[in-house]
Chains A and B, each alone.
Chain A
């Protein structure tokens, strides 16, 4: 029983982080129809920035409360990078064929991955102080890190906040309108450029948040973005490109599959994930929640 509970919590932990990454990717695709190959790298920016900020604050002798306040730094950094990238590099590509959109974001991926290397060097960065500060809680006779529960909570809160934001605010209405018909929204007086930049920034913020909250539990390493991107792909393909509900369901499916896979069939665990994504694409190309 405890065994199942702990594995279930691990799966939820993994799902929360996946949702933060894939939700942003899906939001961006839903609004501007661009598949951002550099999205995983924004997650890495979040992780590296937070690890660095927490490390610097701890070195300066900051208290644990301050360290907690520093934690979201990565999300803000990723959002800032996103806000700078959209109008400069992505905007010229909306009207051009998809291969160019994919290529420019692939170029961005290479640039960001190496910039992280340039800024923070080749060694992994960690923010273990925060992890230790949270301590652990007991589940039956076992101990479970309290920080992991926090990350699960952050994932759930982010999902709820995003849902409320998109379905319950005026901005959300405009965003959905732009996503459904950009020309019509534009004709009705929506500043589409502003919506695009906002949507892209929110998407990047979420990826950065994922990175920021993952880093106390595991180190920020080079290449983490590339790895995360492909898993986020699997999530959005299963859930449906451009659908937030889909990203949520997809993240849960992938999270639980992966946890089961690691426990039961570790050799083919990744292959199974990619195969499931392929099967979903064949059976339901729009994904479980996608619009066709």
Chain B
């Protein structure tokens, strides 16, 4: 590495740190500063952030648009609910382990089928398979509670009982628990996409034929990416379950997959942190739209149409444009 490149690398590291430190401080301080409403909204944003980050390993880095990620998110949440119902388990760590294991298995099976295709067929196939799970959750009501869903009590964290004040639990202890996991997930995903494996995925995305010629086993790489992506979504689903307190078929239905795609595009799927920004922005957007009007779908749909027409690279794309303009002005 030439000294020039080294300098550049150090500088970009500094820029990242300059963003990361205040952001981390803000997230750490949030529960003590902004009150429970915003804390919970941020908490939802963080949970969806993990899921969309996983989703974007497929869309942004492998070039595969899944329209069925509700399946893995929902499977994560339902695993928690069924563990409570049938095994009377109350430990969050067991929930997470169980959910990641189950969703990894499901995405291995589904992925094995789906990665044989790309483009539109990949999208339809993922959608059809996710609908299989949805219809099972919908019809086997004696197991899954049907449309009523399954209740999920507050779990114990690291062996500590949740206590009686649910609000206090969610807005403080559970918030920090999720925040730590969120940081771990972001770090793991960062390592994945910057590893040789991640570079290979990007090579597949950019030119499938060339990637194959230099010896990358395309299908296997796509399958691994699919499983990792599904497991992240499953982990997010498991974290979402105690937060929402109820697992219903609504999180398995394909329109929820559409919302996941929406979040990724809103933040900008060409960017590493785009999905996180998108998940946070979408959560706030939806919370306010739902509070403001019963016609929130109309508002969000309009946002989506305008977004893809005018701002296809999402919020992070806009940030990049503004940053480039500022640099030139200086």
Contact = CB atoms under 8 A, between A and B. Distances in A.
A266 to B, nearest CB: 7
Which of A99, A111, A230, A267 has the most CB atoms of chain B within a 10 A radius of its CB?
A: A99
Contacts, number: 115
A226 B136 CA distance: 18
B261 A99 contact: yes
A98 B301 contact: no
Q: Is the interface of A mostly helix, strand, loop or mixed?
A: helix
A100 to B, nearest CB: 5
A285 B117 CA distance: 9
Q: Is the interface of B mostly helix, strand, loop or mixed?
A: helix
Nearest to A233: B124
A25 B63 CA distance: 25
Contact of B305 (A107, A230, A233, A268): A107
Interface in B266-318: 294-298, 300-305, 307-309, 312
Contacts of A230: 127, 131, 254
Contact of A282 (B113, B136, B261, B302): B113
Given A110-B297, A270-B138, A98 B120 contact: yes
B113 to A, nearest CB: 6
Which of B123, B124, B302 has the most CB atoms of chain A within a 10 A radius of its CB?
A: B124
Nearest to B126: A278
Contacts of B127: 230, 233
A28 to B, nearest CB: 13
B328 interface: no
Given A270-B135, A271-B135, A274-B135, A281 B117 contact: yes
A115 interface: yes
Contacts of A37: 258
Nearest to A105: B305
A104 B308 contact: yes
Nearest to A93: B308
Nearest to B129: A278
A241 B120 CA distance: 10
Contacts of B330: none
Contacts of A100: 308, 312
A102 B131 CA distance: 18
Contacts of B305: 89, 104, 107-108, 111
A113 interface: yes
B37 interface: no
B261 A110 contact: no
Interface of B: 59, 65, 67, 113, 116-117, 119-121, 123-125, 127-129, 131-132, 135-136, 138-140, 254-255, 258, 261-262, 265, 294-298, 300-305, 307-309, 312
21 contacts: A35-B120, A92-B309, A93-B308, A98-B120, A99-B265, A102-B123, A103-B261, A104-B304, A108-B305, A111-B297, A113-B297, A114-B295, A115-B298, A117-B294, A233-B128, A266-B139, A268-B136, A270-B138, A277-B128, A278-B129, A281-B124
| Closest CB pairs A-B (n = 3) | A110-B301, A107-B304, A270-B135
